[in-house]
Amino acid sequence: MREPKPERKFRPDGRRPQRPEAAPADDEHLIEGRNAVTEALKSGRTINKVFIVSGGGDHGLVRLSAMAREAGAVVVETDRRKLDQMSPTGAHQGIIAMASAHDYSTVDDMLRLAEERGEKPLLIICDELSDPHNLGAILRTGECAGAHGVIIPKRRSVGLTAVVAKASAGAIEYMPVARVSNLVAAIQDLKERGLWIYGTAADGATPLHQVDLTGPAAIVIGSEGDGMGRLVAEQCDFKVSIPLKGKITSLNASAAAAVLLYEAVRQRG
């Protein structure tokens, strides 16, 4: 006798449940989009495999395919549906690369970089940012502004994911990022090394136009919802307010970082 078929279960809205998909690969190892893959290849990062949309009519993708093969990567042509399933960002532009794990730097690496350049250190400290687009934008702006590194906490913070890499437009390949266990201890260590700590705060006592960013400096950017945590805020030498002329009472994290970074660029000449 044949066993009865299992009863089909439906969702409350009457639809069948979606068939479970295979678990995605660790997206800290995925690089999406043409600019991001180009910069990864140019920087010499180890690329294991590149998935590229089949068709062959796109000259930009043909060039990237040749670059990837020259770098020793396996290039696999596939259809766009497969890329859509792989993509954490939903904006792969026809190419996704699988890279070796992204190495984090150390704070010592960042200070050494500043010394090698003959510059005063300029660091960015992100206090529990959860939006990967914000972190990616900060990496991009920091790299363009000549900052020497970004420090993030290990807990309650986004890491170097594929979405961060995409939002950074390739800057993730050049901007050192350190992940520390204790952000307050890291700030205290920076102060002992002679850096001044500038936190962004809507109620900051020091207006932007009065702040001196010509010396060794670290700029603290608070989380999207709550700003800087109390313990981190207590470590700041200055709490800097950015003038706001409209009805909105705050800038988002990446915009605030850009304002302070380019004020530092202006002052340092």
**What tokens were used for 130?**
């959860």
Burial 128-150 (b: 16+ CB within 10 A, else e): bbebbbbbbbbbbbbbebebbbb
DSSP assigned state of 195: -
CA distance 124 to 262: 12
Dihedral over Cα of 263, 104, 137, 243: its sign: negative
Q: pLDDT for 57-97, tens place per residue?
A: 788 899 999 999 988 888 989 988 899 988 887 889 999 99
> What is the chain's pLDDT, residue by residue, as a tens digit (269 residues)?
444 444 444 444 443 333 333 334 456 688 888 998 998 898 888 788 899 998 767 888 999 999 999 888 889 899 888 999 888 878 899 999 988 667 789 999 999 999 999 999 999 999 988 899 999 999 999 999 999 999 999 888 888 888 888 899 889 989 999 999 899 999 999 999 999 999 998 888 999 999 999 999 999 999 877 889 999 999 999 999 999 888 887 888 999 999 999 999 999 98
Please indicate, yes or no, whether the overall pTM of this predicted structure exceeds 0.85.
no
Q: pLDDT for 35-65, tens place per residue?
A: 989 988 988 887 888 999 987 678 889 999 9
